[in-house]
Chain A
Amino acid sequence: MADEVIQEFLVESYESLEEVERDLVELEEQSSAELISRIFRNIHTIKGTCGFLGYGRLEGVAHAGENLLSKLREGELVPTEPITSALLATVDAIRTMLELIEQTEADGDEPYEGLRQTLHVLAEGAPEEAAPPAPAIRVEGRAPMLSAPPPRSTEPADVAPEAAPEPTPAPAVEVLTRSRDGAEAEGEHRTTVADTSIRVHVELLDTLMNLVGELVLVRNQILQHQEALEDSGVSAAAQRLNLVTSELQEGVMRTRMQPIGQVWSKFPRIVRDLAHQLGKECRLEMEGKETELDKTILEAIKDPLTHLVRNSVDHGIESAEAREARGKNPEGTLTLRAYHEGGQVNIEISDDGSGVNLERVAQKALEHGLVKREQLERMTEKSLLHLIFLPGFSTAKEVTNVSGRGVGMDVVKTNIERIGGTIDVTSSAEGTTFKIKIPLTLAIVPALLVGSGGDRYAIPQVNLVELVRLEEEQEAKIERIHGAPVYRLRGKLLPLVFLHEQLGVERQQSEESGIHIAVLQAGDELFGLVVEDIRDTEEIVVKPLSRHLKELGAFSGATIMGDGRVALILDAPGIAAKAGLASKDRDAALALEEENEDASALDQTLLLFEVAEDRVVGVQLANVQRLEEFDATRVERAGSAEVVQYRDRIMPLMHLGKVLFGQPPPAYVRQDGQPATLQVIVCQREGQTAGLVVDRLIDIVEERVDLDPVGRRHGVLGSAVVQGRVVEMVDVAAVLGEALPTLGARG
């Protein structure tokens, strides 16, 4: 991070120096108090910053220059040629040191005694007569004697020797030339920060971004029309325009990108102070601070991130004593990670504390009346953990001045969702991790265009999960719970929201029958937005809405379509909230759902295997430790059992096909004479390991399955419909009981 501060300091200082140089030259022609003040301010700023950054020598030189300037400013001295020259020499010296800093990160060991003395002498009021032009000649002459290279041809240097006063000018000049030359010798193509970067006002970038947005629209229009023209020349030009526009768009977008490290830079201090204040020990680690994000987004995540970091130090990391008692390093670690993934940026904030205390979360939620006791009892750990995002929730035992300032996790969540991001939390005894996903930029986004009430609306792709179309005869599949429409999407209930109802517009009867459901993700909600028709996807340029339209909550902006008309951009979280799908209700609904759930339902990840050639069985992931492949030659026998050596232990093998369906085990030698490979599910129970041999792994599905007792027998829990086919669910415990007869015997 320090690098960035220094870079910024360098860029700013180079700029200031240039201004000072110009001003000094102008000062020679016409003295003005304004000019002197500006020079003074610039030098003063450089002095202040380099003092702050610990560049003592640079500070010393700047200070000497500043002293002289302050005399000028106060009118004690009037600018004369020697003074100007000495000041220009100061500018050169500063620049030389800046270049040194840029290369070596240090301001060198040259004290610039001569220059400082000159400045001092001048400041102490040895005016004009002390500095006749003559010494300059001597300086010129002396320089080579001091084995300095030939005088430089740059303008300030020309001035300096000419007018540098006795008795000290020579060393100053000599030093300057030498170090200058040293820098040049390193390579002519070396460029300084100031050469390769310029500072541009964000406003200008915004204007550029808007213009590029316009260009994208024009491009879209042209692409639409060129198809109708069927002119190969036009097509070719349109294609080229398409390419160039895309590249330009990307380029301009990149100008607005800034590393996330800029926001992170203040965290070490925050963490340090906070840990100190709380009597904790905490180390902050940052990974991927060079990850770039649009400036607007960077601004928007600054506060949520700060809150999360504070929160982690406050609630996540335990006190040093508590950590020691648990046998952990007394110093806690807070890790910030940022990385790009699939057009989005992921940011993780992890602590190695003891994790979120779910009991306390439940207790708090109950106390604040956010959930009912019965609901709590039925909640999964994940739902419990997500209670922390409810408005009005705070787990801090006492309100510290750190995190309990009325800004809760709900605000963090809202702010992140406002910019189209999501936040998730996972917690275990090893620590808590908050994971934020945010889009790279907000300005130009891909969107799906839908129709409702005869108007077009855009839905940002980042909110869109999938599209479902129901034919007329399938419309009956929309069920109602207390009047609330739901649809069973692959076995899960998807709450439905009719867009025309939310917007209060007339539903338009489209020619085609059936309905379209856009499955949208708003935060951790998934809901189906029923629209009348679905059109194209298009890259849209997001334009802000006027103030009082923003407050409607249903729209996040507007955009201009290819035909020049305006379309509103739907705000998925806003619509979800309008439709009463707010997190709180959803969590409550979730709890209710779990409450009403049949005990036989399994809401887990299932591994589907093929056994006995054509039978499909399902095994709950929770039962599976690993999937392994063994060469058939590794199978040995122990008594009647087949075993393999696995991790220095003997692991019995069972053929699931044989156990469940009475099929003989497959041949261990393939038709080509090579040994077969066994696919084995490694399961563990009470510290003992057994392997279940299957034909192959078909699929891993995450689905709620309703267990039907059909087919229930020893080793089979029952059957269920998974992805359209009947799957028999393996009773792993029972099967293992056979393989490991000692199970349970030891109590």
Chain B
Amino acid sequence: MESTDGLPQYCTFHLGELYLGISVEHVQEVIRYQEMTRVPLAESTVRGLINLRGQIVTAIDLRRRFRLSPRDELPMNVVVHVDDEALSFLVDEIGDVVEVPAELVEAPPATLTGPTRQLVSEVCKLEGRLLLILDVAQVAGVGATRSAA
């Protein structure tokens, strides 16, 4: 989706020190913390199931996905659509919707390693900070460690 200026828009949020963004076309809505029903046997990144107005949405803990340490505060839900399925990404805090001119967008640097390398598709060089654009399908996909259970 593009703004009136024709620039791609990203819904941004914070996860620890990371400043992340998802193209707005993937985002259905942003909601506050919801009670969840845990799913035994599932990967640890699956935090549980949310009842989103009658629709059952799987919540994926982005902190766990990025292998960050857990945080005490309640996370926010960014509900995204991937392959006709609704998923919720649990993030620390919601940021603004930003427009990014194409010249500021670059492929992630080769030095980027770990889970971040797989999950980030592009880097936007905003003034004073870097916005990492998530590869939604990758984040949604399997591949994290199985829960110990």
Contacts and interface: CB of A to CB of B under 8 A. Distances in A.
A568 B40 CA distance: 10
B54 A455 contact: no
A301 to B, nearest CB: 25
B54 A214 contact: yes
Contact of A453 (B40, B50, B85): B40
A505 interface: yes
B40 A504 contact: yes
Contacts of A548: 42-43, 46, 141-142
Interface stretch (B31-39, B96-104, B119-127): B31-39
Interface in B57-94: 58, 85, 87
Given A545-B56, A560-B51, A565-B51, A505 B149 contact: yes
A217 B54 contact: yes
Contacts of A547: 85
A419 B55 CA distance: 21
A554 interface: yes
Contacts of A453: 40
Nearest to B46: A549
Contacts of A552: 39, 41-42
Contact of A549 (B36, B58, B141): B58
Contacts of B36: 566
B139 interface: no
Interface in A187-227: 210, 213-214, 217
A726 interface: no
On chain A, which size bracket covers the interface?
A: 20 to 34
Nearest to B36: A566
B134 interface: no
Contact of B54 (A210, A546, A555): A210
Given A564-B51, A565-B51, A543 B56 contact: yes
Contact of A503 (B40, B56, B87): B40
Contact of A558 (B43, B49, B85): B49
A602 interface: no
A476 B48 CA distance: 36
B41 A504 contact: yes
B41 A565 contact: no
B49 A568 contact: yes
Contacts of A544: 56
Interface in A99-128: none
B142 A566 contact: no
Contact of B38 (A217, A455, A554): A455
Contacts of B51: 560, 564-566
Contacts of A241: none
Interface string A476-510: 00000000000000000000000000011100000
Given A543-B56, A546-B58, A503 B37 contact: no
Contacts of B46: 548-549
A516 B53 CA distance: 33
Interface in A419-440: none
B31 to A, nearest CB: 14
A566 B56 contact: yes
Contacts of A248: none
A554 B147 CA distance: 15
A567 interface: yes
**Taking each of A213, A548, A567, A568, which has the highest tally of chain B beta carbons within 10 Å of its own beta carbon?**
A548
The A contact surface, by secondary structure, is: mixed
Given A566-B50, A566-B56, A503 B41 contact: yes
Nearest to B49: A566
A136 B109 CA distance: 81
A549 B42 contact: yes
A554 B42 CA distance: 10
A486 to B, nearest CB: 24
B54 A554 contact: no
A560 B54 contact: yes
Contacts of A546: 58, 85, 87
A560 B35 contact: no
Contacts of B141: 548
Given A543-B56, A546-B85, A558-B49, A566 B37 contact: yes
Contacts of B54: 210, 213-214, 217, 560
Nearest to A578: B41
A552 B42 CA distance: 7
Given A552-B42, A565-B51, A568-B49, A504 B56 contact: no
Interface in A547-585: 547-549, 552, 554-555, 558, 560, 564-568
Contacts of A214: 54
A735 to B, nearest CB: 58
A568 B142 contact: no
A217 B55 CA distance: 12
A723 B48 CA distance: 46
Nearest to A548: B142
B37 to A, nearest CB: 4
Interface in A622-670: none
A238 to B, nearest CB: 20
Contacts of A504: 40-41, 147, 149
Contacts of B42: 548-549, 552
Nearest to B57: A546
Contact of A455 (B37, B41, B50, B58): B37
A554 B41 contact: yes
A367 to B, nearest CB: 36
A501 to B, nearest CB: 11
A568 B39 CA distance: 8
B40 A554 contact: yes
B39 to A, nearest CB: 6
A81 B7 CA distance: 53
**Taking each of B41, B85, B87, which has the highest tally of chain A beta carbons within 10 Å of its own beta carbon?**
B41
Interface in B130-149: 141-142, 147, 149
A555 B37 CA distance: 13
**Taking each of B43, B48, B58, which has the highest tally of chain A beta carbons within 10 Å of its own beta carbon?**
B58
A503 B38 CA distance: 11
A459 to B, nearest CB: 15
A211 to B, nearest CB: 9
A568 B49 CA distance: 9
A455 B141 CA distance: 26
A216 to B, nearest CB: 11
A568 B37 contact: yes
A90 B147 CA distance: 70
A453 B40 CA distance: 10
Contacts of B38: 455
Contacts of B147: 504
Nearest to B37: A566
A563 to B, nearest CB: 10
Contact of B37 (A210, A217, A505, A567): A567
A547 B39 CA distance: 13
A468 B35 CA distance: 33
18 contacts: A213-B54, A455-B40, A505-B40, A505-B149, A543-B55, A545-B56, A545-B58, A546-B85, A548-B42, A548-B141, A552-B42, A555-B39, A558-B37, A560-B51, A560-B54, A565-B35, A565-B37, A566-B36
Given A544-B56, A558-B37, A565-B37, 8 more contacts: A213-B54, A543-B56, A549-B39, A549-B46, A549-B58, A565-B35, A566-B51, A568-B37
